[in-house]
A = this chain, B = another copy of it.
């Protein structure tokens, strides 16, 4: 007999070959109650032997789940996002779910996504990677029984997993403080495509808190807010350098931004860390290569966590509604004690 005809066996084929009814087989396979354990085993065995798998379409049509989960992300090629995607995908696929990928670079496409998805029930749940969902949108999905989990960004209304931004930035700033820095600048980063998701509030707060606790007055000129990119970081650094009294250290909201800042410093002929200390957040692969001191966060792990949360939700299992993964300082060569503790203020000063 030629093995070539790809005719998938159907559930009734399976049922017949076992002398059972399809109803029983369905129950056996789906783990539902109402089948004796012996029968269930027999069915499972036979299914394996025949290489039978339920048709997801038919299953869904008849009221089951799709076993598909959407991952929605505003960026595809940025380290943080692809790393997160990696973690999520691995966890989900291992559990037998398929991952639908939706790239929503801008508000328009995001909007469209949330408009279209509910109509056609394509997925059982959605994981939103580091971007905000309107409470309204969330509610509509919830209503349809579509679960939501946020990965890499905190939101009020549904389960999320992310780092504690406040702690992370405190770790960064405290490190600088411990080294003896007093004039510490901050380059805040925000995603220009998600205007509603402001500056990482937590990260800024950590900075303010750390300085305050150290008894250092805040100098607003030391705080710059820029789009999330190396380019912007470079420009911000230039501004900081042209300050009457530039900082001795810079805390950037992200490694990408920090790296940009470093480029400006190099171009300006300043040495790192002798003339200026720089610290970022993320532990981006480039940080290791460029010897950048940073705060490590395990993005993969966050993704995996988010995956697990979705799985819990779908299994009706209870799950944590908020997970924060730990961060820690990775001291490298971009930070050091300040050159000299400036003790003569009031020398320079007008623009």
Closest CB of chain B to A106's CB: distance in Å? 12
Is there contact, CB below 8 Å, between A101 and B100?
Answer: yes
Closest CB of chain B to A163's CB: distance in Å? 18
Confirm or deny: A1 has a beta carbon within 8 angstroms of a beta carbon on chain B. Answer: no
* A54→B61 CA distance, assembly (Å): 12
Is there contact, CB below 8 Å, between B118 and A89?
Answer: no
Is there contact, CB below 8 Å, between B53 and A120?
Answer: yes
With beta carbons under 8 angstroms apart, the residue of B8, B58, B66, B93 that contacts A103 is B93
Nearest opposing residue in chain B for A102, CB measure: B93
Confirm or deny: A147 has a beta carbon within 8 angstroms of a beta carbon on chain B. Answer: no
Is there contact, CB below 8 Å, between A86 and B93?
Answer: no
* A121→B77 CA distance, assembly (Å): 29
Confirm or deny: A99 has a beta carbon within 8 angstroms of a beta carbon on chain B. Answer: yes
Confirm or deny: A312 has a beta carbon within 8 angstroms of a beta carbon on chain B. Answer: no
Confirm or deny: A27 has a beta carbon within 8 angstroms of a beta carbon on chain B. Answer: no
* A76→B122 CA distance, assembly (Å): 23
* A89→B101 CA distance, assembly (Å): 8
Q: Given the complex, which residues of B lie within 8 Å of A286, measured CB to CB?
A: 286
Q: Given the complex, which residues of B lie within 8 Å of A119, measured CB to CB?
A: 8, 51, 53
Confirm or deny: A82 has a beta carbon within 8 angstroms of a beta carbon on chain B. Answer: yes
Q: Given the complex, which residues of B lie within 8 Å of A8, measured CB to CB?
A: 119, 121
Is there contact, CB below 8 Å, between A90 and B103?
Answer: yes
Is there contact, CB below 8 Å, between A55 and B144?
Answer: no
For residues 289 through 319 of chain A, which have their beta carbon under 8 Å from a beta carbon of chain B? 289
Is there contact, CB below 8 Å, between A56 and B6?
Answer: no
* A120→B54 CA distance, assembly (Å): 8
**When A8-B119, A51-B119, A289-B263 are in contact, do A76 and B57 touch as well, CB less than 8 Å?**
no
Closest CB of chain B to A47's CB: distance in Å? 11
Q: Given the complex, which residues of B lie within 8 Å of A98, measured CB to CB?
A: 100, 122
* A52→B72 CA distance, assembly (Å): 23
Nearest opposing residue in chain B for A116, CB measure: B53
Q: Given the complex, which residues of B lie within 8 Å of A61, measured CB to CB?
A: 55, 57-58, 61
Q: Given the complex, which residues of B lie within 8 Å of A86, measured CB to CB?
A: 76-77, 103
* A68→B98 CA distance, assembly (Å): 11
* A6→B145 CA distance, assembly (Å): 10
**When A77-B83, A83-B77 are in contact, do A118 and B57 touch as well, CB less than 8 Å?**
no
Contact sample, A vs B, 27 pairs, CB 8 Å cutoff: A4-B143, A6-B144, A51-B119, A53-B119, A54-B120, A55-B121, A56-B122, A57-B57, A57-B60, A58-B61, A61-B61, A76-B83, A76-B85, A76-B86, A76-B89, A77-B79, A77-B82, A77-B83, A77-B86, A82-B82, A86-B103, A93-B102, A93-B103, A99-B100, A99-B102, A263-B289, A286-B286
Closest 7 CB pairs of A and B: A77-B82, A57-B60, A76-B86, A101-B101, A57-B61, A57-B57, A99-B101
Given contacts A57-B66, A90-B103, 7 further A-B contacts (CB under 8 A): A53-B116, A56-B122, A57-B60, A71-B101, A76-B85, A89-B103, A99-B100
